[in-house]
Amino acid sequence: MARVDIQMQVRSVNGSIAVVSLDGEIDVYTSPKVKDFIGKLIDKGTYTFAIDMQNVRYIDSTGLGVLIGGLKRVREHGGAVTLVSTNPQTRKIFDITGLIKVFDIYDTVDEAVNALK
C-alpha cells in the first residue's frame, strides 16, 4: 500500500548542492515535516537545492507553500532551488498556480543538479 506519509533523505553533490529526495504525499499533515527538514538544512548553511519529487504521489497547496518558503529563504543568500518531477498531476498543479514560472522543473536529478552548477 502506498504511504500516506512522507520520507525524506538528503545527499550532497560537490559539497554545496543538497539533493533532497521526497517519497510519499505532501499535504497539510506532512508538509510541516518537509518544512522542518529543509529549514534545518538552510539553517546549517545549505542554500542550493535539487528537490527530487519523482516519488511524490500527491502535493497540495501546503506543499507548494513549503517550496515557496524555502525558495524565498535560499534566495536571500543567493541560493536556488530546482525540482525533479515527471508526474503529470504535479506538473499540472504548478502550471495552474503559475509556479511553473517560479520553479525550474526537470525530468531527472542529473538535469536538476547540472542546472545549479
Partner 1 sequence: MMQAREVGAEIPEIEVRIPSRAEWVALARLAVATVAARMHFNVDEIADLKLAVAEACTNAIQHARESDEIVITCRIYHDGLQITVRDFGIGTEAERIRSRDLGEPRVGGLGVYLIRALMDEVEYRVERDSGTVLTMFKRFGDSSR
Inter-residue contact 34 to 22 (CB < 8 Å): yes
Inter-residue contact 84 to 112 (CB < 8 Å): yes
Shortest distance, CB of residue 36 to partner 1, whole angstroms? 14
Shortest distance, CB of residue 30 to partner 1, whole angstroms? 9
Q: Which one of residues 17, 25, 81, 82 is an interface residue with partner 1 (CB under 8 A)?
A: 25
Inter-residue contact 31 to 66 (CB < 8 Å): yes
Q: What amino acid occupies position 70?
A: G
Shortest distance, CB of residue 96 to partner 1, whole angstroms? 5
Shortest distance, CB of residue 78 to partner 1, whole angstroms? 17
What are the grid coordinates assigned to 41, written together?
A: 538544512
Q: Which CB sits closer to partner 1, 78 or 98?
A: 98
Positive/negative CA dihedral, 2, 26, 44, 42? positive
Judged by CB under 8 A, the chain residues 55 through 114 that form the site for partner 1 are 58, 60-62, 64-65, 68-69, 71-72, 88-89, 92-93, 96-99, 102
Residue with cell 511524490: 56
Whole-number Å distance between alpha carbons of 83 and 79: 14
Which positions lie near partner 1, rule CB under 8 A?
4, 25, 27-29, 58, 60-62, 64-65, 68-69, 71-72, 88-89, 92-93, 96-99, 102
